[in-house]
């Protein structure tokens, strides 16, 4: 790796080091870096456990366990300067152990991890956020033989890369990332490079390896849920249109939310229905994280006025680690799949959406006027 000296129009080679030379450890450093920033591996991953040892009849433990955006479990094994000879056999064992984990197992494992790192959030809520707001009941994870493997090391031995290439021919989802530390003045840099499969051919390799694993029973369950939600939205819209016209141009949906714009890009008022609660929210998403946080802070500065106009307290969720932010009013203890809860939910959502729309008019006008 080289650094460009633009004024002198030349390049200088960075000083490549080993982790050992710099005093870095596998668990204390490399593992923590990847747990904190798994996007360094080139995709969006959700770390659900570190040092996972929940295997029957063995004391082995894998370094990091994650989920990808498709719901596949990802086994991440880290080595420092040398992969060693046996890492491929090691990760294959881990993947086989993880293949039997159920959705409830994964929820429990992730909840334990959240508690371990001091987070009070519910695993179901965090999983729902990761999977773009889908109901936990409709999130499909670890289906069939979709487990993936990522190996990270400073150097991979030939016997390892040879085995990986052979496994890829049998549609085993396995990747090798080379990690190299560099010294640049007083700064330490880390280069993360995907060795296998070659990045330009990865989409083809993934398409060959990925299989649709939805079972007939799961598909039927999803269809039933879509039908129930469509019925709920029909009932909600029929009633809400009698009282106000906020949802006058909205059609019933099979999804768990509907919403309308408030006259400013990136701001919508959504209402959401789940098996645990329903809520009305101002959803902030311009597509740019920094802009979203500035918008949230504008409203938060006016919290007292907004809550006074709304007539009660609201949930203020800046969500610093997420792109989006939201302000919500929530009714807990109701389930959209229990029809006897529908009247309470409909009344609450009609009332809270009207109050939130009215409470935000002034703050939004201030934004528009600069």
In the predicted model, what is the mean pLDDT of residues 213-220? 52
| pLDDT for 208 beyond 70 | no
Question: Distance between alpha carbon 183 and the CA centroid of its chain, in Å?
Answer: 32
- Contact, 45 vs 215, CB < 8 A? no
CA nearest to 251, candidates 263, 233, 235, 272: 233
CATH 1.10.10.10 fits 12-209, yes or no: no
The pTM of this model reads 0.61
Domain ranges of the chain: 12-209, 223-368
For residue 3, the tally of other CB atoms under 10 A from its CB is 13
Antiparallel, parallel or unpaired: β 148-153 and 173-184: parallel
In the predicted model, what is the mean pLDDT of residues 113-122? 94
Place of tokens 């487990």: 147
Average pLDDT, the chain: 91
In the predicted model, what is the mean pLDDT of residues 122-142? 92
Task: Kindly calculate the radius of gyration of the chain based on its CA atoms and give it in whole angstroms.
Answer: 25
| pLDDT for 210 beyond 50 | no
CATH number of the domain located at residue range(s) 223-368 in this protein: 3.30.1460
- Helices within the chain (DSSP H only): 19-22, 31-36, 87-98, 103-116, 123-130, 158-168, 202-209, 216-243, 289-301, 303-310, 342-359, 361-368
pLDDT tens for residues 288-301?
Answer: 999 999 999 999 99
Residues 6+ apart with CB under 8 A from 241: 247, 248
């Amino acid at each position: 790796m080289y650094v460009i000296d633009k004024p002198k129009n030349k390049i200088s080679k960075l000083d490549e080091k080993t982790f050992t030379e710099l005093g870095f450890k596998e668990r204390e450093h490399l593992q923590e870096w990847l747990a904190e920033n798994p996007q360094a591996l080139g995709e969006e991953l959700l770390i659900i456990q570190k040092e996972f040892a929940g295997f029957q009849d063995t004391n082995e433990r894998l370094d990091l366990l994650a989920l990808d955006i498709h719901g596949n479990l990802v086994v991440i094994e880290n080595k420092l300067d040398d992969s060693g000879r046996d890492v491929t056999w090691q990760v294959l064992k881990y993947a086989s152990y993880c293949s039997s984990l159920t959705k409830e197992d994964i929820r429990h494992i992730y909840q334990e991890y959240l508690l371990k790192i001091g987070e009070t959030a519910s695993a179901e809520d965090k999983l729902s956020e990761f999977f773009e707001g889908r109901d936990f009941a409709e999130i499909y994870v670890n289906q069939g033989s979709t487990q993936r493997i990522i190996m990270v090391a400073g150097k991979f031995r030939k016997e390892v890369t040879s085995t990986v290439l052979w496994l890829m021919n049998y549609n085993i989802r396995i990747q090798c990332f080379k990690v190299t530390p560099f010294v640049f003045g007083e700064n330490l840099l880390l280069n993360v490079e995907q060795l296998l499969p070659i990045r330009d051919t990865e989409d083809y390799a993934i398409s060959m390896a990925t299989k649709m694993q939805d079972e007939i029973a799961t598909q039927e369950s999803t269809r039933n849920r879509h039908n129930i939600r469509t019925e709920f939205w029909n009932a909600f819209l029929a009633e809400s249109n009698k009282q106000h016209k906020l949802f006058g141009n909205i059609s019933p949906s099979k999804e768990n939310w509907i919403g309308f714009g408030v006259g400013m890009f990136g701001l919508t008022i959504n209402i959401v229905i789940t098996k645990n609660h329903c809520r009305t929210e101002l959803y902030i998403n311009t597509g740019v994280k920094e802009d979203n946080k500035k918008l949230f802070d504008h409203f938060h500065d006016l919290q007292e006025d907004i809550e006074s106009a709304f007539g009660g307290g609201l949930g203020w969720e800046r969500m610093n680690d997420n792109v989006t932010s939201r302000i919500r009013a929530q009714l807990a203890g109701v389930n959209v799949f229990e029809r006897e809860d529908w009247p309470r939910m409909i009344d609450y959502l009609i009332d809270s959406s009207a109050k939130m729309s009215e409470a935000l008019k002034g703050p939004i006008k201030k934004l528009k006027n600069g």
